[in-house]
Structure 1
Amino acid sequence: MAGKYYEELEVGHVIHHDVRRTVTDWDNMQFSTMTMNPAAIHIDHEYCKTTEFGRPLVNSVFTLGLVVGLSVGETTLGTTVGNLGWEEVRFPKPVFAGDTIRAETEVLAKRESKSRPTQGIVTFLHRGLNQRDEVVCECKRLALMMKRPA
């Protein structure tokens, strides 16, 4: 099992995920189109030349998904029952095509489920950083996690 069971996750532990990914213009265009987001700031290069950024911004929902996705293999792969919610999602710096994103995850809190004795709730802080070590995304995620089988 690649993911960690509830008992294996310790509050305060930080995981620096090894897998990184360089974002492409195609990623941004495809994701924005697939999710029906026609905002010019994501898909119109000519328009973006007139903005303060001078080029398209990567869709923030793509960035969030990428950062969490980079964490899955070492946290919740095969051991999560489901996501319970997202809190305090922030994007302090923009992401552009060509940026390479890496992720780190901190276990902020955990508690046993009151209604599901074989599961527990873990609060993760996922942080995405670019190649300059600037934080580009941060979010808290509550996950319902399996306990180790008896």
Structure 2
Amino acid sequence: MEHERYFEDYVLDHTRTTFGRTITESDFVVHAGHTGDFFPHHMDAEAMKSSQWGQRIAHGTLTFAIGIGLTATEINPLAFSYGYDRLRFPKPVFIGDTIHTQLRIARLEDDPKRLDHGRITEEVRVINQRDDVVLACDHIYLAKRRNPT
């Protein structure tokens, strides 16, 4: 769904929560194939039985891809992603976990490189069914200003 939103339309502290997504073994296999990361942490169930987790853990990049993908619910042709900062994986994700993403607009500021855009920083938290934060980061994106200064 396309929805035009100018920088001025974003509201500080606005929050949103995505729907959930259950992580499957197929997710692990497909992600390993895409990335070439076949480390035992993700792919060797027998080796991981004796680990501190007792089972395979999701690739951090898998958690990131799915957690961020859940947030892509609208297309704003006036905005684009500038990147991600402070990315952390405080808890592991396991096969069978259901994750969702909570977002909060933490900062609205001028973009020093583009006077016709403003910079939006969204605080991102991916959370499992036990209410554990499994990913934390800041998503920075730029949105066109309605009236550039």
Whether these two folds match at TM > 0.5 is yes
**Which residue is equivalent to 2:107?**
109
Q: In structure 2, what residue type is equivalent to 1:93?
A: K
Contact 1:86 1:141 in 2 (8 A): yes
Q: In structure 2, what residue type is equivalent to 1:13?
A: H
Mapped partners of 2:78, 2:98: distance in 1: 27
**Which residue is equivalent to 1:46?**
46
Unaligned segments of structure 2, at least 5 residues: none
Percent identity (aligned): 29
TM-score w.r.t. the length of structure 2 is 0.86
Q: In structure 1, what residue type is equivalent to 2:120?
A: V
Mapped partners of 1:136, 1:42: distance in 2: 16
Worse-matched range after superposition: 79-88 or 122-131: 79-88
**Paired residue for 2:144, among 143, 146, 150?**
146
Mapped partners of 2:11, 2:120: distance in 1: 10
Mapped partners of 1:57, 1:94: distance in 2: 6
TM-score w.r.t. the length of structure 1 is 0.85
Secondary structure class of the residue paired with 2:36: coil
**Aligned Cα RMSD in Å?**
2.2
Q: In structure 2, what residue type is equivalent to 1:132?
A: R
Deviations 1:12-51 (CA, angstroms, capped at 9, x unpaired): 122122x211010110121022101121100111211221
Unaligned segments of structure 1, at least 5 residues: none
Q: In structure 2, what residue type is equivalent to 1:141?
A: H
Contact 1:45 1:56 in 2 (8 A): yes
Deviations 1:86-124 (CA, angstroms, capped at 9, x unpaired): 211111111001111011101111123344344221111
Instruction: Spell out structure 1 runs of 4+ moving beyond 4 A.
Output: none
Q: In structure 1, what residue type is equivalent to 2:21?
A: R
Mapped partners of 1:68, 1:80: distance in 2: 19
Q: Post-superposition shift, 1:79?
A: 3.8
Secondary structure class of the residue paired with 1:58: coil
